[in-house]
Every structure is written in structure tokens, then in C-alpha cells.
Amino acid sequence: MGLKIPCPHCGPRVYTEFTFGGELHELESIDPEDDFRRVYLPDNAAGPQVERWFHAYGCRRWLTLRRDTVTNRIDGLV
């Protein structure tokens, strides 16, 4: 079955209903080069990270969750 994402509006749904929105990083400065790195150069690190997902085939809302990229375990919504 694969990864299930707990949508706060629709309940647990299979990940294929979602579009991955990437890693979420705080805006640390207003420098355009820092912003470019934040948006277009993901860390792609092994381990827990905060991510954005869009429920494209459901409620069509964005959600933020914490997922371990090694185990695919979701530690909850942020």
C-alpha cells in the first residue's frame, strides 16, 4: 500500500493522492541567494525533516508534516 499521509481534513490517505511540496525551511534572511538556496536546493538529508504536501486528489489543501526520510515514518502534522 505504501505511505499513508494523515490529512487533517480527509483522514489517512495514500500518498499518491498528494503532491510533494518539498522540504520546509524557515526564511532566515532576505538575501535573494539564501532564498534561492532555500527554495531550489533541498538538503535531501537522511532522517527527520519537515515537509509540505498538497492533497491534490482530496481537499486540495496544503499540510505540513514531519517525516523520517529513511523509514518513511510520519511523526505527525506540524
The site for Zn ion (CB under 5 A) is made up of: 7, 9-10, 55, 58-59
Q: Could you tell me which of 8, 30, 33, 5 has the C-alpha nearest to residue 19?
A: 5
DSSP class per residue in 11-44 = EEEEGGGSEEEEE--------HHHHHHHHHS---
> Of the two residues 9 and 73, which places its CB atom closer to Zn ion in the complex?
9
Nearer to Zn ion, 18 or 38 (CB): 18
- For the bound state, the minimum distance from the C-beta of residue 63 to Zn ion, rounded and expressed in Å, comes to 7
Of 10 and 50, nearer to Zn ion (C-beta) is 10
Minimal CA–CA distance to 35: which of 45, 43, 27? 27
Instruction: Report in angstroms how near the CB of residue 59 gets to Zn ion at its nearest.
Output: 3
